[in-house]
Homo-oligomer: A and B are copies of this chain.
Amino acid sequence: MEYKVIFHIDENAKWPMVLGNIENLLNAAGTDHIIAEVLANGEAVLKYKDTAEDSGGSAAAMISLHEKGVTFAACQNAMRANGLTKDELLGFVTPVPAGVMELVKRQAQGYGYIKP
């Protein structure tokens, strides 16, 4: 069986929960295949900034998940509102024009939605 899911995060304080949830999901999947994407908007895009002092350990967890196939998207409206440029993003993060449009499209494609 294959499952698709998009995780939504818009508060920085939720990053440890989100990243832990996805780690648990991948561990639980067993022979099931999981396509998992993280969509950050609001202030939560700031943890995508490519500097150790800003990431507080979350960058390492993201890199580990990305190596297991998890994708990470950043809302460009939120990037503008938080003064974050594309060049400042961790290399594996994909900017999308509007985070909520991504959430709507993915659900229309059959993705489940989880907001930790």
Give me the interface of A with B, judged by CB distance under 8 Å: 1, 3, 5, 8, 10, 17, 21-22, 24-25, 27-29, 34, 41-42, 75, 77, 97-101, 103-105, 107-108, 110, 112-116
Contact = CB atoms under 8 A, between A and B. Distances in A.
Contact of A98 (B24, B77, B105): B24
Given A10-B17, A17-B10, A42-B17, A112 B101 contact: no
Contact of A113 (B24, B28, B114): B114
Q: Which 8 A-B pairs have the closest CB atoms?
A: A28-B98, A107-B112, A28-B101, A25-B100, A24-B98, A24-B77, A21-B100, A104-B112
**Number of copies of this kind of chain in the complex:** 3
Contacts of A99: 21, 24
Contact of A112 (B28, B98, B108): B108
